[in-house]
Chain A
Amino acid sequence: MANDIAPALTSADFASDQDVRWCPGCGDYSILAQMKKVMPQLGIPREKIVFISGIGCSSRFPYYMNTYGMHSIHGRAPAIATGLKCVRPDLQVWVVTGDGDGLSIGGNHFLHLMRRNVDLKILLFNNRIYGLTKGQYSPTSPLGKINKSAPMGVIDNPLNPLSVAIGAEATFVARSIDVNIKHLGEVLKRAAEHKGTAFVEIYQNCNIFNDGAFDYATDKVSKFDTTVELEHGKPLIFGKNKNKGIRLNGTEPEVVELGKGISEDDLLFHDEKAPEPTLAYLLSRMRHPEFPEPIGVFRAVDHPKYDVELNKQVETAREKKGPGDLDALFNSGETWTVG
């Protein structure tokens, strides 16, 4: 049984024998470390865990985990994982992707994974740049960003991964930051425990091609003003001294200071279980520098899972029609005999 084995495993048991070949200082190291730390806590035997990735720096991830893994082709990991999960609901399947892999070439599969709610976990390492192909802009690069493929600045309006996921009916949506290791570990654990597609955006620093893209959110001083940690049932409070909050003005969020006639009760309270995605969407739209950017779990709701429903249909069909007999099928309908 899973639980009999789990206590014996440690973080080190999940390290593969392969050399990790990300650039020194890459944010991916931190994510890998947190994943190896979370894994033993899940109580799942290593052989029941599969990591599937596409192409890009992030997609080397499976090589470094001592589980089953597949490094596949650009953008298609969600579809591979879907096929795997459909025939092997007993496995825990993780998809590791980046902003280019998941949202650009794999954008279509990303949408359909969300709306089907296949029971797997997808981690989007968002560094707002193409790292492996050396510095072209990605679907999350901000407008005006100067880079190799946009020397006069990016003119493509960026995608907001969380808004896209929520728009596609994702049932679990969260965000964390590579260097915020405690938070990241907790979010990964929550994702692992979710039943259905769990989508996690991780702000990840590419120190070679887009260094400091998320400094505002990781800087020891500014992070208190630029991020707000979401907690279910709690008001949105942030700031070094917990003196600021988010209030709803009609359907628009606004930053307010606590005191001066505004109390916690006036603030927006987070509800990750809200059946309608409206609140989660609104939170996903809060962007720096107008707002602190929420980190944590935006949405965690229960919906039918594609792989479960598919296998249920198989069971129902078996109950209704029996296991099926090919000889009977061949001989069904109109037949005739010769000789």
Chain B
Amino acid sequence: MSTTIEPVVQSHKQTTKIPSATIRFAGDSGDGMQITGDQFTRTTALLGNDIATFPDYPAEIRAPKGTLAGVSAFQVHFSSEDIFTPGDQLDALVVMNPAALKTNLSDLRKGGILICNSDGFEKKDLELAGETENPLNSQVLEDQYQLFKVPMNKIVEIALKELKAAGMSTKEIDRCKNFFALGLVYWLYGRDMDATIRFLQAKFGNKPQIIEANTKALQAGWNYGETTDAFVSNYKIDPAHLPPGKYRDINGNQAMAWGLMTAAKLSDKELFLGSYPITPASDILHELAKFKNMGVRTFQAEDEIAAITSAIGAAYGGAMAITTSSGPGIALKGEAIGLAVMLEIPLLIINIQRGGPSTGLPTKTEQADLFQAIVGRNGECPLPVIAARGPGDCFYVAQEAWRISTRFMCPVMILSDGYIANGSEPWLIPSMKDLRKIPVTHAPEQIDGSKFLPYKRDEYLSRPWAIPGTKGLMHRIGGLEKQDVTGNVNYEPDNHQHMTNTRAQKVENVALEIGPQEVEGPESGDVLVLSWGGTYGACRTAVEACQGQGLKVAHAHLRWLNPFPSNLGDVLKNYKKVLIPELNMGQLRTFIRSKYLVDAIGFNKVKGRPFAIAELIAEIKRVLPK
């Protein structure tokens, strides 16, 4: 359903206009904070604000109730301006219990709004969070923040007493308190409730009591803000000046799935996904599994290795083949990636990075699989690597990767991360007719009896994609070294050197197709911030802030990590300092330093969290030449 932007629900109270706000819902992992945040995001997107979100949740499905480890949070940054990150400091924080308060309070700016469900601060809740005193009674909170103690459980119970009389359980009623909190925040930021009510109706169509209960709780939250003396003012944020067009809200994994389906359509291929569930990549499998009518075949394999090898089989058969995983799964796929490199067949390998090593921080973000992507295999085994910079970009990255994979007949690795995958933003809806076709050809049948040469190369060094079922092309391929042109097994020293060189040159040739590196800001100056992947938004915002202060700082964001754009070396030399912020210990920096002999400076963090803009600004200023 399409909405044009209309005035939001007006409060009778005083309304203050602000340019942007960052809010966070935090509670127990059973409190429904993700759904609350998601609803706030949708509603806010419909109002035309620019948005960026950051869901943050524990790895356990239901971590021990009320504990610090079980806190689940959802952050939304929304603005009347163009924004690129989910925000640093919070303007408002909603907490459902002491554990959520304890783990999130430090992110709330002084003077910010702090809404606490005071019913969640009973003696037992305090004990679970390791508190002896109730923090809500402390004068410090009152002094430093706009503290609102709201007995949400009690209010919801009263609001739903008729439903209770009709047989609804206390537990079910209690579970509606997140919608009360949502309603209150809707009032606070002048959002209307229609989209959420429509969501409830669609989701719980056959459970009218649940719809009614949550709708009433939502309304009760809104009314509470409107009528309670405690809240004297609410806020208004104008629609953002985004490029004109029709928008929707999209997260990274959804955009990736849609981008893959689009690439299949643009190349006139049917899509095969071989995948094994893993956080945070599984949602791509879930999304694609819905679209069998579009010729999408998803195969939930028995393990990661079967996931990629089934995709290799499908690619050999002529399909658009994909495998999706996260770092630990990519590790298992390593040998098969090598096979795909030797076979020289198109294949997309998608890594939604998470914190590592090993199982690491499965639900937290990191960009520490760059080494793994570029060199993490046995033998000389190069392949092109592309990284998405944000949720909506995943849609385009998927298409570009497939274009390169089919043009060069080689597997391509796509890097995304948990932050991009789960984060959402407004997405300017494209039209299929405006998207570039991806021409794919297969070797034609040979009926004259001539010998087919499976490794005969074109001007890009790409070999023909000859698929079984084609007359006259019968040939055998495999992981053993190939003789160039014939594809026969060959162990000759010079041939191995030649094939190694050829496979490397083929990947280098990708640079001919990807265009030069662009820079935002002055063409030369004091500092170049070089970034890749999901840190794009934070780096761009930080650099713009520095530029606004008159500093000679520029930003270059790498989309292709292998190969690098052909002019990158020249770009780097135009700045006195090169700063490479990464959510790893310096992986891109290592490649840049070794390849270009540039004394790049790293800014590195592995805390399972994205960069804050403020810390990047501080670092840029720190490295400025004196």
Interface residues, chain A, CB within 8 Å of chain B? 16, 18, 45-48, 50, 52, 62-63, 65-74, 76, 79-88, 90-91, 108-109, 111-112, 310-311, 313-314, 316-318, 320-324, 326-327, 329-331, 333-339
Contacts and interface: CB of A to CB of B under 8 A. Distances in A.
B42 interface: yes
Interface string B312-323: 111111110100
B312 A335 contact: no
A80 B309 contact: yes
A332 to B, nearest CB: 8
Interface stretch (B61-69, B287-295, B350-358, B535-543): B287-295
Interface stretch (B228-236, B477-485, B586-594): B477-485
A314 B1 contact: no
B5 interface: yes
B571 interface: no
Given A83-B314, A87-B297, A323-B294, A73 B245 contact: no
Nearest to B473: A47
Q: Which 4 A-B pairs have the closest CB atoms?
A: A339-B244, A71-B478, A83-B313, A83-B310
B195 interface: yes
23 contacts: A18-B476, A50-B468, A63-B478, A68-B469, A69-B476, A70-B478, A71-B476, A71-B480, A83-B309, A83-B313, A83-B315, A85-B313, A88-B318, A314-B295, A320-B293, A326-B432, A331-B246, A335-B246, A336-B4, A336-B47, A338-B48, A338-B245, A338-B247
B479 to A, nearest CB: 6
B339 A310 contact: no
Nearest to B466: A68
B239 A335 contact: no
A108 B307 CA distance: 12
A87 B319 contact: yes
Interface string B1-30: 111110000000000000000000000000
Interface in B337-351: 338-339, 343
Given A70-B343, A83-B309, A336-B4, 14 more contacts: A48-B468, A70-B476, A71-B477, A73-B336, A76-B305, A79-B301, A79-B302, A80-B310, A86-B313, A88-B469, A91-B469, A310-B299, A320-B293, A334-B249
A83 B3 contact: no
A334 B272 contact: no
Nearest to B198: A334
Contact of A338 (B5, B309, B321, B432): B5
Given A80-B316, A83-B321, A336 B478 contact: no
B344 to A, nearest CB: 12
A84 B313 contact: yes
Contact of A79 (B240, B243, B305): B305
B306 A112 contact: yes
Contacts of A86: 272, 297, 299, 310, 313-314
A165 to B, nearest CB: 16
A124 B158 CA distance: 70
B36 interface: no
Given A52-B313, A71-B480, A72-B479, A47 B469 contact: yes
B476 A80 contact: no
A67 B286 CA distance: 37
Interface residues of B, number: 77
Interface stretch (B95-103, B258-266, B417-425): B258-266
A87 B272 contact: yes
A321 B291 CA distance: 9
Contact of A90 (B311, B321, B469): B469
B335 interface: yes
A143 to B, nearest CB: 29
Interface string B264-288: 0100001010100000000000000
Nearest to A105: B305
B313 A81 contact: yes
B242 interface: yes
Contacts of A45: 471
B303 interface: yes
A314 B293 contact: yes
Contact of B306 (A108, A316, A321, A324): A108
Contacts of B48: 336, 338
Nearest to B270: A87
A314 to B, nearest CB: 5
Given A87-B297, A313-B292, A334-B195, A72 B473 contact: no
Contacts of A109: 302, 305-306
A74 to B, nearest CB: 8
A87 B478 contact: no
Given A84-B316, A314-B297, A334-B45, A71 B309 contact: no
A338 B244 contact: yes
Contacts of B265: 326
Nearest to A81: B313
Nearest to A109: B306
A215 B319 CA distance: 46
Contact of B317 (A16, A91, A311): A91
Contact of A72 (B47, B312, B475): B312
Contacts of A65: 476
Nearest to B245: A338
A329 B292 contact: no
Contacts of B338: 73
Contacts of A329: 258
Contacts of B480: 71
B474 A67 contact: yes
A62 B476 contact: yes
Contact of A327 (B243, B313, B318, B432): B432
Contact of A68 (B42, B195, B474): B474
A327 B248 contact: no
Given A73-B479, A326-B265, A326-B432, A87 B314 contact: yes
Contacts of B46: 334, 336
B336 A336 contact: no
Nearest to B303: A108
A68, A91, A313, most chain B CB atoms within 10 A: A68
B430 interface: yes
B297 A335 contact: no
Contact of B248 (A50, A81, A330): A330
Nearest to B435: A326
A95 B306 CA distance: 15
Given A70-B478, A79-B309, A338-B243, A321 B317 contact: no
A16 B97 CA distance: 72
A16 B489 CA distance: 13
A12 B480 CA distance: 26
Contact of B488 (A18, A80, A311): A18
A250 to B, nearest CB: 37
A43 to B, nearest CB: 16
A46 B291 CA distance: 34
B502 interface: no
B431 A327 contact: yes
B470 interface: yes
B245 A335 contact: no
A324 B261 CA distance: 11
Contacts of A333: 1, 248
Contact of B258 (A72, A84, A326): A326
Nearest to A306: B299
Contacts of B473: 47, 68
A331 B4 CA distance: 14
Contacts of B489: 18, 63
Given A48-B468, A80-B316, A87-B317, A70 B246 contact: no
Contacts of B319: 87-88
Nearest to A313: B292
A47 B303 contact: no
B316 A336 contact: no
A91 B301 CA distance: 21
B472 interface: yes
Nearest to B264: A326
Contacts of B474: 46-47, 66-68
B462 to A, nearest CB: 19
